[in-house]
Amino acid sequence: QTVVTQEPSFSVSPGGTVTLTCGLSSGSVSTSNYPSWHQQTPGQAPRTLIYSTNTRSSGVPDRFSGSILGNKAALTITGAQADDESDYYCVLFMSTGRWVFGGGTKLTVL
Amino acid sequence: EVQLVESGGGLVQPGGSLRLSCAASGFSLSGYYMHWVRQAPGKGLVWVSRINSDGSSTNYADSVKGRFTISRDNAKNTLYLHMNSLRAEDTAVYYCLRINGGDWGQGTLVTVSS
């Protein structure tokens, strides 16, 4: 069974830039996996940041961007702010017709 | 304003059934594939099921296949998840999601316990 991989944790300084990645245990991520990125703070419903690789959801600031970097999907946050401290999840579409979430990345801003 | 509002969660005994609903407003459900996603307490997000725009095609995670059924009523602008043979491990907050558009509901809690 294919596993979607994410860094368990990451740290960034306020104002800094961080790139989170989303890979596959077998194979490469492409635009055909329609990667999307979702932010969740404790006790809240998730919020979509990016879908279809690089389309920003309504109201999401342009310091969040999505791309394919090498064989992974990537979420880049530029000018990190304190309230970016959250869990970030990617989800990928598989050729079986199913979607699979990664385990999430806990981002700390300090 | 786009909104997704889930309902129908609650406490149910193992082996029991529930039907979750997700009412959409601010957009026409008929134009979009829709998903159900769940999150067990303290755990990550898990994709459960997807339905295409006219309801003719569905997909399920292995953990729920054969027990859960996703459906939709585009005339009522509502998505459903019929859950049968519920197990303790189905305990979670269930969210509906429109991936293309990036909209989530607020979630509804399903607790399976005797």
Q: What is the pLDDT of residue A104?
A: 98
From residue A98, alpha-carbon distances to A67, A79, B16, B47, B54 in Å are 21, 34, 26, 8, 18
**Partner B contacted by A97 (CB < 8 A):** yes
Q: Say if residue B52's pLDDT is above 90.
A: yes
Inter-residue contact A95 to A29 (CB < 8 Å)? no
Cα–Cα distance for residue pair A83/A22, rounded to 1 Å: 22
Q: Say if residue B105's pLDDT is above 90.
A: yes
Chain A residue closest in CA terms to B57: A97
The distance of A110 to chain B (nearest Cα, Å) reads: 23
Query: What percent of chain A clears pLDDT 70, i.e. is strictly above it?
Result: 100
Please judge whether A51 and B99 are an interchain contact, meaning their C-beta atoms are less than 8 angstroms apart: yes
Band of the pLDDT at A5, cuts 50, 70, 90? Answer: very high
Q: What is the pLDDT of residue A22?
A: 98
Q: How far apart are the first and last CA of chain A?
A: 36
Partners of residue A102 in chain B, C-beta under 8 Å: 44
Partners of residue A2 in chain B, C-beta under 8 Å: none
